[in-house]
């Protein structure tokens, strides 16, 4: 530790500390421009100069890079230091009059106007070199540097051409204290309006506001460190030293007694219906996007805004997008009607827009649902019965200019209508999740006609699959709303717990068995068994049945060409004997 005096205050700091760090501890304010805690000090702006007396010798030094020494007497605002600081700030002000942090420091130092010649009143760059240092030391790309000498000095890529070394991380713009460097790239993200993005913006984030556990992770695709090997700035600023770059995804094998599949759904991709214009018109959004938009922690803070940042004056909600449609999915997705009604209600609450609701049939089947529909009818939502045929922006009248036109056959009055709106929300249906088929294969689960997982019995075993110990919950089994999902999940858990609680498994008494002597090892039965209970024993060259898995369906028995597979209690001899007995009577 080192003892020193700063502005008459005696303090003790680490040996490796700079005067600036020590001054912070002593609560002495030193203005800085080119200093940033995470890059190497540059000592170029000369604004942080302080007067240091040591061993009877007084000198001006830059506090950002000068290390403390025992017995130093630092004066941050001595006359000499202030003269140098004021003149340096005043000269910088002539270079970059538009640089806000510089103007702030000038104001604090009482400089109203620079006495030196101003070249460009719009100039913001103070040549602090933070961008250059960030690009070199943090990013490791060294894509930009200073070019030219003296007053001609400026930041540039080699020869002023777009640099191949640039990885587009925009760290330069981030580090620039004056806004002299800006970036316009929107990174291919969907933009709701200018500054706010739908979706991730940084390499470190939590998956969503509702994420459990609420722990940030590093997105390797977006992280500079995984591109250049440098940066590590998050580790530098994390006091808890929680950042670990070596931590990788790990695969763990767990032994369990039962499995509950709750793989959920994916929303119908509205692009598959080109007539609805999703992806072509910025103000046609899906239900999921609208949910994000009205969320108070969403990109607009919960305001319903269009791409141009304005509030819509008319909004259309289109039901049954991808559901109840022979061309896409024949089934009803069950939740769309009710969430559409919720949207209509929220829109009425948050905007002054006219709300149109285009429905095929209103399916309000749950508890209190019908009442909610009636409430909406009273709130003034305009319900139009009929399937929307097209959404476009081809105006026929002046009233339709700049609007989205929803074409629909109003089946209640029997005419085709054109409804101009500012925003259209597509109530997309539910489809099995992305990896649904792989899961089905892996767990040997059958699927029903609608491609959702097939339960063992629609009434008697609605949460069980055909395989013992594997249960189904939620939309993987079929479209359903949250109450139904919760109820089904509860049932699945109960089934699993019942198994665990019993501590034993009841086996089918009637299973198949393979006669070692007769089995030729042809493996026909292995592929046929619907319960994956037959495996092939390589050493013995025969097929083997796992009794715990076999349900005694008899498929293997019927298929076995050599008669090696026999069903207990239903052996060929027994069946023949029974037939014989019947025939005898």
Partner 1 sequence: MAEKAKDKTYRLHLMVCAGTGCVSNHSYEIKEALEKEIKKHGLENEVTVVPTGCNGFCERGPILVVQPGNIFYQQLAVKDVPHLVEEHFLKGRLVSKFMYTPPEEKKPVPVLNDIPFFKKQVLIALRNRGLIDPEKIDESIARDGYKALVKALTEMTPDKIITEITLSGLRGRGGAGFPTGLKWQLVRNAASSNGGGKYIVCNGDEGDPGAFMDRSILEADPHAVIEGMVIGAKAIGATAGFVYVRNEYPLAVQRLSIALDQARDYGLLGSDILGTGFDFDIQIKRGAGAFVCGEETALMASIEGRLGEPRPRPPYPAQSGLWGKPTCINNVETWANVPMIINRGAKWYAGIGTETSKGTKVFSLVGKINNTGLVEVPMGISLREIIYDIGGGIPGGKAFKAVQTGGPSGGCIPREKIDLPIDYESLTEAGSMMGSGGMVIMDQDTCMVDIARYFLSFTHEESCGKCTPCREGTKAMLDILTRITAGKGTEEDIGLLQDLALSIKDSALCGLGKTAPNPVLTTLRYFRDEYEAHIRTKKCPAHVCRQLNIYTINPETCVKVGRGCDVCRRNCASDAITGQKNEAHVIDRAKCIKCGVCFDVCNFGAVKVD
Shortest separation between residue 14's beta carbon and partner 1, angstroms = 18
Closest CB to partner 1 among 150 and 527?
150
Shortest separation between residue 61's beta carbon and partner 1, angstroms = 9
Shortest separation between residue 59's beta carbon and partner 1, angstroms = 9
Question: What does the alpha-carbon distance between residue 208 and residue 18 come to, in Å, rounded to a whole number?
Answer: 40
| DSSP per-residue string spanning 309-365 | SPPPSEEEEEEEESSS-TTS--S--SSHHHHHHHHHHHHHHH---EEEEEESS----
Shortest separation between residue 115's beta carbon and partner 1, angstroms = 7
> 524, 530, 506, 504: which is closest to 565 by C-alpha?
524
Q: 3-class SS at 382?
A: strand
Shortest separation between residue 74's beta carbon and partner 1, angstroms = 16
Shortest separation between residue 62's beta carbon and partner 1, angstroms = 7
Cβ burial, residue 216 (10 Å; 0-12/13-18/19+): middle
Closest CB to partner 1 among 25 and 80?
80
Which residues sit at the interface with partner 1, rule CB under 8 A?
Answer: 41-47, 49, 60, 62, 65, 67, 80, 83-84, 87-88, 91-92, 94-95, 115-117, 127, 129, 145-146, 148-153
Closest CB to partner 1 among 88 and 323?
88
Closest CB to partner 1 among 70 and 572?
70
Closest CB to partner 1 among 61 and 285?
61
Closest CB to partner 1 among 88 and 567?
88
Check if the beta carbon of residue 311 is closer than 8 Å to that of residue 305. Answer: yes
- Cα-Cα-Cα-Cα torsion 524, 525, 531, 532, nearest 10 degrees, comes to -60
Check if the beta carbon of residue 140 is closer than 8 Å to that of residue 229. Answer: yes
**Residue corresponding to tokens 């108070």:** 296
Check if the beta carbon of residue 119 is closer than 8 Å to that of residue 154. Answer: no
3-state helix, strand, coil split of the chain in percent (to 5) is: 30, 20, 50
Give the single-character DSSP code of 485. Answer: H
Closest CB to partner 1 among 62 and 286?
62
Closest CB to partner 1 among 74 and 525?
74
Check if the beta carbon of residue 75 is closer than 8 Å to that of residue 51. Answer: yes
Check if the beta carbon of residue 64 is closer than 8 Å to that of residue 20. Answer: yes
Shortest separation between residue 10's beta carbon and partner 1, angstroms = 25
Check if the beta carbon of residue 512 is closer than 8 Å to that of residue 556. Answer: yes
């Amino acid at each position: 530790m080192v003892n020193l005096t700063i502005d008459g205050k005696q303090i003790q700091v680490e040996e490796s500390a700079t005067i600036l760090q020590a001054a912070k501890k002593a609560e002495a304010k030193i203005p800085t421009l080119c200093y940033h805690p995470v890059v190497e000090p540059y000592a170029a702006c000369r604004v942080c100069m302080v007067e240091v007396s040591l061993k009877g010798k007084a000198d001006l030094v830059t506090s950002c890079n000068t290390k403390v020494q025992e017995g130093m007497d630092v004066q941050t605002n001595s006359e000499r230091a202030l003269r140098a600081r004021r003149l340096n700030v005043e000269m910088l002000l002539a270079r970059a009059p538009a640089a806000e942090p510089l103007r702030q420091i000038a104001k604090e130092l009482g400089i109203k106007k620079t006495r030196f010649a101003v070249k460009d009143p719009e100039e913001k760059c103070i040549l602090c070199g933070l961008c250059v240092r960030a690009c070199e030391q943090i990013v490791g790309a060294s894509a930009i540097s200073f070019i030219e000498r003296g007053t001609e000095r400026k930041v540039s890529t080699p020869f002023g051409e777009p640099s191949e070394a640039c990885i587009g991380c925009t760290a330069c713009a981030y580090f620039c204290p004056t806004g002299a460097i800006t970036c316009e790239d929107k990174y291919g993200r969907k933009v709701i309006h200018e500054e706010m993005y739908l979706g991730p913006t940084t390499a470190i984030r939590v998956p969503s506001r509702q994420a459990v556990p609420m722990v940030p992770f590093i997105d390797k695709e977006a992280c500079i460190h995984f591109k250049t090997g440098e940066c590590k700035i998050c580790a530098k600023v994390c006091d808890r030293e929680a950042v670990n770059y070596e931590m990788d995804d790990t695969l763990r094998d767990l032994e369990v007694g039962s499995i509950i599949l709750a793989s959920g759904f994916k929303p119908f991709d509205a692009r598959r219906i080109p007539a609805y214009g999703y992806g072509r018109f910025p103000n046609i959004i899906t239900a999921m996007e609208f949910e994000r938009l009205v969320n108070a922690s969403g990109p607009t803070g919960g305001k319903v805004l269009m791409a141009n940042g304005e509030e819509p004056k008319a909004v259309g909600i289109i039901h049954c997008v991808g559901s109840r449609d022979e061309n896409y999915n024949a089934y009803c997705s069950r939740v769309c009607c009710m969430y559409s009604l919720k949207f209509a209600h929220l829109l009425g609450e948050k905007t002054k827009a006219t709300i149109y609701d285009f429905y095929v049939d209103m399916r309000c089947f749950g508890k209190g649902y019908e009442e909610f529909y009636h409430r909406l009818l009273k709130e003034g939502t305009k319900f139009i019965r009929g399937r929307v045929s097209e959404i476009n922006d081809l105006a026929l009248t002046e009233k339709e200019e700049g609007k989205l036109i929803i074409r629909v056959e109003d089946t209640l009055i029997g005419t085709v209508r054109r409804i101009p709106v500012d925003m259209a929300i597509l109530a997309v249906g539910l489809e099995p999740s992305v990896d649904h088929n792989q899961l089905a294969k892996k767990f040997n689960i059958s699927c029903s006609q609608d491609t959702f997982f097939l339960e063992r019995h629609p009434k008697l075993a609605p949460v069980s699959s055909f395989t013992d110990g594997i249960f189904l919950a939620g939309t993987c089994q079929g479209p359903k709303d949250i109450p139904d999902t919760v109820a089904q999940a509860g049932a699945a858990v109960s089934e699993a717990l019942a198994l665990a609680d019993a501590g034993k498994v009841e086996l089918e008494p009637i299973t198949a068995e393979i006669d070692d002597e007769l089995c030729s090892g042809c493996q026909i039965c292995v592929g046929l068994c619907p319960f994956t209970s037959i495996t092939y024993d390589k050493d013995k060259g025969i097929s083997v049945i796992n009794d715990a898995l076999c349900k005694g369906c008899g498929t293997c028995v019927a298929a076995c060409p050599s008669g090696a597979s026999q069903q207990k209690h239903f052996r060929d001899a027994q069946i023949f004997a029974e037939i014989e007995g019947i025939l005898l009577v």
